[in-house]
Amino acid sequence: MKLRPSSKSSARDAFARAEAAAKFIRAKTKLRPQIAVVLGSGLGAFADALETATRIPYSRIPGFPLSTADGHAGHLVVGQSGGIAVAVMQGRVHLYEGYSPAEVVFPTRVLGRLGIRAAILTNASGGVNLSLKPGALVIVRDHINLLGRNPLIGPNDERFGPRFPDMTDAYSSSYRRAALEEAKRLGIEIREGVYAAVPGPSYETPAEIRYLRTIGADLVGMSTVPEVIAACHMGIRVLGISCVTNMAAGILDQPLNHQEVLDTGERVSRQFIGLLRAVIPRLAADLKA
């Protein structure tokens, strides 16, 4: 079956728009980062501590979707962490905000065209595994996509990546190992887990959480997975770090609310920032190898 010309044109336009946005960002800073960090709900403080930083509101970047969720500042900050250039997204967009999968991963596309080769994707999550507690940091080992949508559906532009990208090592095993080693060195208690992505914005029901636990999920959230898929498509290696900001529905006898997510993120920010600062040099060294 042949694709309609309009569909082909739309796919090619996405590449051109990503290239235009990357060109705009390059014009704002002399730094040329190869490492990106995406900060989830309540985890934005890392960006505020960067050196020689250039802060660009998403609203100024051509074609960039705007964050509407609480705890997502909506800035791209290009700066240095320990002398290493990084591009940090202070907040992201989600499907539940009304964006399409292509719009959700457009910032990831832009980062790829900017020259990013490694990405640390962070999120706030609900704890599904009963052994997790609020404030725990978890290295994402794998994910379960329950969003019902994939950002690669539609015509494929080979300039982004192959039609059928391999997801076997979507969360780089060597990056996970480096993060676990640095956490141990810093005395941070950490473990690995599987992240389940759901559309939201409503929190899950107790029955849904029991289902997620049965199929092997340790964490649940409403983000990250589309970005990981797009990153793998473009050959960007990924490290996923999740902060358990609340226990999922039915585990504790209390209602869920977003303020708890923000409060817990703020409480663990020192450990979280320490881990990021320790891991970034490991990723930078790997890129040079």
Q: What is the pLDDT of residue 129?
A: 94
> Are 101 and 151 spatial neighbours (Cβ–Cβ below 8 Å)?
yes
Q: Is the pLDDT of residue 3 over 60?
A: no
Residue 100 parent element (H or E): none
Annotated catalytic residue 22 = no
| DSSP per-residue codes, 202-228 | SPPPHHHHHHHHHTT-SEEESSSHHHH
Annotated catalytic residue 145 = no
Annotated catalytic residue 174 = no
Q: Is the pLDDT of residue 252 over 60?
A: no
Q: Is the pLDDT of residue 200 over 90?
A: yes
- Cis bond before residue 201 (omega within 30° of 0): yes
Name the DSSP class of 165.
Answer: -
Annotated catalytic residue 10 = no
Q: Which of 81, 125, 129, 223 is catalytic?
A: 223
Q: What is the CATH number of the domain that holds 174?
A: 3.40.50.1580
Which tens digits make up the pLDDT trace of 87-103?
A: 999 989 999 999 999 99
> Are 220 and 212 spatial neighbours (Cβ–Cβ below 8 Å)?
yes
Q: How many CB atoms lie within 10 A of CB 108?
A: 28
Q: Give the range of the structural domain holding residue 100, as residue numbers without chain letter.
A: 5-288
Provide the domain count of the chain: 1
Annotated catalytic residue 269 = no
**Amino acid letter for position 112:** G
Q: Is the pLDDT of residue 118 over 70?
A: yes
Q: What is the pLDDT of residue 249?
A: 57
pTM above 0.75, yes or no: yes
